[in-house]
């Protein structure tokens, strides 16, 4: 199981040209050596020229060779630091719990690394002008969608949720161009959601998706927050993608609040005060 840039190299391997593939393979086999090497050394070892190495970096979406080295250091750090040991039958309750939390933390750290490449600015711009935000999700993702709706409405924006196939389809059918659909989907392959979003897209609604970037849903969406599904080898591994989606929506909500500015701030403050007043009187009556 690899993470970070090494995983990305594997994923992008098919798109690379012949020379670039040679570079990818050499780096893949000698990542530690690469960290200490100069462009010249990497180029020589892969049997290509120096600019080709840079082009390779750019094709991966990186700024340059320096950026590659930085990310390699990061990627090589994780396994050591955090030997993601799977839970097994020999674990007691506490050890198992600790391992699960380690995994959850790992998920969020990986996510954090990807934030710079995510379209937060665009999403905020789209959402500030929205007539309504519609949060969509099926099954476990439905809970995330509900939670998100509950979070975003406090900014003073009209929000609704659609967490079953019928509602999703119907809502898509009456979508306006100023509606924004925020779709949470682990794999992005459920046909109900994909077809519903295609309909919404035809009606020029905006679609923001938290899903696998290679999925059909991602193709339909205007903005994609990439959540690569991790292959769960272990039965006990929980769906930590839920946690990532939740955290991501937390982040988006805050970004949106900043984008809206003062009115959102006031609404947030008001809703918090409402809760704490309620609580104060509740305590008194105890």
Partner DNA sequence: CAAGAATTTCGTAATTTGACTACATTAATC
Partner DNA sequence: GATTAATGTAGTCAAATTACGAAATTCTTG
String marking each residue 11-30 x if it binds a copy of itself according to CB under 8 A: --------------------
Nearer to DNA, 61 or 238 (CB): 61
261 binds DNA (CB under 7 A): no
Cβ pair 224, 218 in contact under 8 A: yes
CB nearer to DNA: pick between 19 and 219: 19
Q: Which stretch binds a copy of itself (CB under 8 A): 20-28, 129-137, 164-172, 266-274?
A: 266-274
Question: Shortest Cβ distance from residue 55 to a copy of itself (Å)?
Answer: 22
CB-count burial class (<10 Å; 0-12, 13-18, 19+) for 252: buried
Binding map of a copy of itself across residues 71-110, x = CB under 8 A, - = no contact: --xx-xxxx-xx----x-x-xxxx-xxx-xxx-xx--xx-
Q: Are 187 and 229 in contact (CB under 8 A)?
A: yes
Question: In this chain, which of 2, 19, 104, 267 binds DNA, going by CB under 7 A?
Answer: 19
Least distance in angstroms from the C-beta of 179 to a copy of itself: 21
Q: Which is nearer to a copy of itself, 18 or 276 (CB)?
A: 276
Q: Which residue has the tokens 């990807």?
A: 114
Total residues interacting with DNA, rule: CB under 7 A = 21
Tokens in use for 208? 């923001």
Q: For residue 134, what is the enclosing H or E element?
A: strand 132-137
Q: How far apart are the first and last CA of the chain?
A: 53
Shortest distance, position 70 Cβ to a copy of itself, whole Å: 5
Of 39, 69, 184, 201, the residue at the interface with a copy of itself (CB under 8 A) is 69
3-state secondary structure of 200: helix
Binding mask 59-78 for DNA (x = CB under 7 A): ----xxxxx-----------
With CB under 8 A, what is the number of residues at the site for a copy of itself? Answer: 79
Identify which of residues 64 and 79 has a Cβ nearer to DNA in the complex: 64
Alpha-helix runs per DSSP H in 82-183: 93-114, 120-128, 140-152, 165-173
Cβ at position 5, least distance to DNA in Å: 14
Q: Which residues are CB-contacts of 147 (< 8 A; sequence separation ≥ 6)?
A: 246, 249
Which of 24, 62, 111, 180 contacts a copy of itself by CB under 8 A?
Answer: 111
Distance CA 49, CA 32 (A): 21
- What angle is formed at CA 240 by the lines to CA 236 and CA 243, rounded to 5 degrees? 145
Nearest to 28 by CA among 62, 78, 84, 72: 72
Residues that bind DNA (CB under 7 A): 17-20, 38-40, 47-52, 54-55, 57, 63-67
């Amino acid at each position: 199981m690899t993470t970070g840039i090494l995983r990305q190299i594997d994923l992008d391997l098919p798109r690379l040209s012949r020379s670039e593939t040679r570079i990818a393979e050499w780096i893949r086999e000698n990542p530690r050596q690469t960290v200490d090497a100069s462009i010249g050394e990497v180029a020589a070892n892969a049997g290509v020229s120096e600019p080709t190495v840079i082009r390779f970096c750019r094709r991966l979406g990186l700024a340059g060779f320096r950026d590659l080295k930085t990310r390699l250091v990061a990627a090589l750090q994780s396994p050591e630091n955090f030997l993601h040991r799977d839970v097994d039958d020999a674990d007691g309750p506490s050890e198992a719990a600790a391992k699960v939390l380690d995994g959850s933390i790992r998920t969020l750290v990986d996510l954090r690394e990807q934030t710079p490449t995510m379209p937060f600015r665009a999403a905020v711009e789209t959402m500030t002008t929205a007539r309504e935000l519609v949060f969509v999700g099926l099954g476990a993702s439905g809970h995330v969608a509900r939670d998100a709706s509950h979070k975003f409405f406090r900014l003073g924006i009209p929000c609704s949720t659609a967490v079953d196939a019928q509602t999703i389809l119907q809502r898509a059918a009456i979508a306006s161009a100023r509606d924004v659909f925020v779709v949470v989907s682990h794999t992005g392959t459920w046909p109900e959601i994909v077809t519903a979003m295609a309909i919404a897209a035809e009606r020029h609604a905006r679609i923001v998706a938290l899903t696998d970037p290679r999925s059909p849903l991602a193709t339909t969406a205007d903005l994609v927050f990439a959540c690569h599904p991790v292959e769960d080898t272990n039965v006990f591994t929980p769906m930590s993608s839920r946690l990532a989606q939740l955290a991501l929506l937390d982040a988006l909500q805050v970004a949106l609040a900043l984008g809206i500015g003062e009115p959102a701030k006031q609404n947030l403050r008001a809703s918090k005060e409402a809760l704490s007043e309620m609580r104060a009187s509740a305590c008194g009556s105890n």
